[in-house]
Amino acid sequence: MKAKTIILTGGAGFIGSCFLWKLNSEGIDNVIVVDDLGSSDKWRNLLGKKFHDYIQKDDFLKMLDEGKFRRISTIVHLGACSSTTLTDGAYFIKNNYEYSKSLALWAKKHNARLIYASSAATYGDGSKGYDDSRETLHSLRPLNMYGCSKHLFDLWMLRNGLLNETVGIKFFNVFGPNEYHKGEMMSVVCKRFEDVRDKGVIKLFKSYRTEYKDGGQKRDFIYVKDAVNVIFYFMKNMDKSGIFNLGSGIARSWNDLANAMFSALGKEPYIEYIDMPVTLKAKYQYFTEAKMDKLRKSGFKNKFTPLEEAVKDYISYLQHESYL
């Protein structure tokens, strides 16, 4: 019997294309990729990948409603606008919230598995902690419209009882190959690679809180190769449901990340600390660290790649501008 089809939204994007790579490495190519290529270079993320078809994002929902697709087993919904600086609330609601609701309702009606991307941006400044239990959802206060759009969808899924049969993944700071098209939203490793390689220097933001030294602000960095393993785990284990954090579970400083880059390139560390833009100060997260107990209790046993090893591996891709 012909294998059922997987819908992968955002399949030409960063995490999406890496997940397509993961599927291909597992011998799976019965995938319909949905995305909006626009004028960026993210089309390059699809080169060398195997998939059944590509559908433009704006055409997909209509085709779905018209019954153009049959035998859909799983929708992995990673497509979204992830800009943390864009302030067009109406766009976020239409693109991230309403679009996601349409997919969730279709999946419910057609008994398809839904795995969707939420975000650590929903936690705001972290003052409410990083607990991924359902009971904490209403207390969260995102700092930007991106986080708000993801938070609204999490709450909508909770209100409608859909978290009992789907998986939402709160991605923390994911980095790795295939993010080259993301511009200002690239990870610091990608954005500052040429500075470290060619000039032997990296610029990091100063700290404006006494408990954190310059460059000492901390993030939970997770390598994309580890992230896609988690998505695949939930795709294969359909009895798992709910919202899950996805980070390493260990907060590391920007200084740690910078030093890992210098080490990977065989350079002596030299860090310059620069002023943070005024528009960013009120929305800046000084500390994020995923509480990972829930994912581990679900049965996921894989170890995550330590930061220094992950940066070294990623640098090997950056040096050759290569892709997963």
Structural tokens at position 170: 């709160």
Structural tokens at position 148: 């708000």
Looking at the DSSP bridge assignments, the partners of residue 34 are: 9, 55
| Residue among 22, 182, 218, 225 flagged as catalytic | 182
Under DSSP, the state recorded for 287 is B
Structure-derived torsion over alpha carbons of residues 114, 301, 48, 69, reported in degrees to the nearest 10: -20
Catalytic-residue membership of 4: no
* CA-based nearest residue to 294, from 260, 245, 253: 245
Distance CA 307, CA 260 (A): 8
Residues contacting 281, CB < 8 A, separation 6+: 208
Element at 148 (helix H, strand E): helix 145-159
Element at 57 (helix H, strand E): helix 57-65
Catalytic-residue membership of 146: yes
Distance CA 21, CA 7 (A): 14
Instruction: Count CB atoms within 10 A of the CB of residue 176.
Output: 27
Distance CA 100, CA 15 (A): 17
Longest dimension (CA), the chain: 63
| Residue among 146, 180, 223, 314 flagged as catalytic | 146
Structural tokens at position 84: 């943390």
CA angle 262, 266, 270 (to 5 degrees): 40
Element at 255 (helix H, strand E): helix 254-264
Looking at the annotation, which residues are catalytic?
146, 182
